[in-house]
Amino acid sequence: MNLTIDLKERDKELFVSISGEIDAYTAPQLKENLQPSAEKLNQVITVDLSGVSYMDSTGLGVFVGLFKTIKKNNGQLILSGLSERLRRLFDITGLGDIMNIKSEVEGGVE
C-alpha cells in the first residue's frame, strides 16, 4: 500500500495529512518528509491521521522520534483524527499519555 503525505504550511505551523498504511516500508518516507520541520525551533506540527488505515511499531517509532526532536526544539506535535484502532495503539504503549492527541481533526488540512 502506498502512503500519501500532504504538507501545508501556514504561518509557523505545518499541517500534515496522511493516508494509507504506515509500516516498515512507508515509515522512512514519513520520517524523511517530517524530520526537517521537526528540527526547526518552535515548530508546531499538526498531523491528521484520519486517512491512516494501518500503523505498526515502525510507524510508532517515527512519531516517537519526531516527538523527541520537536520537544527538544521547543515545538509541539499534535496528532488528530486517530481511528479507534490507532488510538488504542498509542494508549497501550503509553504514548497517549505523553503526546498531544486531539479527538477532532483541526487546522487547515482537508
pLDDT at residue number 103: 74
Local structure of 16: helix, strand or coil: strand
The per-residue pLDDT for range 9-53, each reduced to its tens digit, is: 988 899 999 999 999 999 999 999 999 999 999 999 999 999 999
pLDDT at residue number 106: 52
Q: DSSP strand E in 1-110: where?
A: 3-10, 13-22, 44-55, 76-80, 100-102
pLDDT at residue number 110: 39
Q: How many CB atoms lie within 10 A of CB 64?
A: 15
Q: How far apart are CA 70 and CA 43, in angstroms?
A: 7
Q: Is domain 3-102 in CATH 3.30.750.24, yes or no?
A: yes
Q: How many CB atoms lie within 10 A of CB 105?
A: 17
Q: Say how many residues make up the chain.
A: 110
So where are the chain's domains? 3-102
pLDDT at residue number 1: 63
The per-residue pLDDT for range 64-109, each reduced to its tens digit, is: 999 999 999 999 999 999 999 999 999 999 999 999 999 765 544 4
pTM over 0.85: yes
